[in-house]
Amino acid sequence: MFCMKIATYNVNGVNGRLPVLIRWLQQSNPDIVCLQELKSPNEKFPLQAIEEAGYKAIWHGQKAWNGVAILAKKKYDLKEMGRGLPGDPLDIQSRYIEAMVNGILICCLYLPNGNPAPGPKFDYKLAWFKRLSSKARALLKKNIPVILIGDFNVIPTDLDCHKPESWVNDALFFPESKKAFKKLVDQGWTDALRTLYPDKKIFTFWDYFRNAFARDAGIRIDHFLLSPQIAGKLYKAGVDKEVRSWEKTSDHAPVWIQLKK
DNA sequence: ATGCCTTACTATGTAAGA
């Protein structure tokens, strides 16, 4: 059966992690990839290495922080549909880019962390979330296949972390964050991993410190939200957990879904 | 409760991440 594999990976520095990224691309062989936390200005995006690995790319970077990109195998047409989330012309952080690939609108996002909370960073997180929800509602009205993909920086429920009580003072697990995520999903989106694995502890991030990965003390914050026009095609999903154990690796692991044709 | 790691930057410390 032909399947399309779509992945998301918060690389935590696309240049610093380039060997890990390329190794994972070759091993996992996804058709489409959303990257977050490039931590690279546009002119330093490692296009050549990514092209040599078999992909074309669009990216929205900035110096030192943030940055998002969409990669697609060279056989696909990758058409950028926009960058930057509407709703705040003063927002200069590079956290959103979208592209049409093979009839699917791929929306790659890096939602603000929001710590320390409460505070101005948490206010920015909630404001950004509100803008994302408005955008998402407009996308649903198009009645086309859309996927919101990326690092949402939200632990949706207790099942999505190893130990809920250790996250209660964190912006990723604040009631406002969880409510905003639930409200977004309730617009009509399908949380791909949770839908396929309703009761399973699945993690996509493990702290560098406290020996978190060895203890499997992780959280699930990287998500795929599918519009109704594509949710029925969801076939498989998973986390490439072993990548988190590699040398010079990101604190996130790549996450992927497979869609039936 | 923290920032135990790790990144980028014009840097030998600071800010940020989650």
Domains of chain A: 3-260 (3.60.10.10)
Tens-place pLDDT, residues A163-188: 999 999 999 999 999 999 999 999 99
The packing angle between helices A120-141 and A175-185, to 10°, is: 10
**B17 closest protein residue (CA to C1'):** A113
Q: How confident is the model at residue A210 (pLDDT cuts 50, 70, 90)?
A: confident
pTM score over 0.85: yes
Tens-place pLDDT, residues A118-172: 999 999 999 999 999 999 999 999 999 999 999 999 999 999 999 999 999 999 9
What burial class does residue A62 get, using C-beta atoms within 10 Å of its C-beta: 0-12 exposed, 13-18 middle, 19+ buried?
middle
Q: How confident is the model at residue A259 (pLDDT cuts 50, 70, 90)?
A: very high
Pairing label, strands A104-110, A146-151: parallel
Q: Find the nucleotide nearest A219 (Cα to C1′).
A: B18
A101 CA, B2 C1': separation in Å?
44
A233 CA, B10 C1': separation in Å?
50
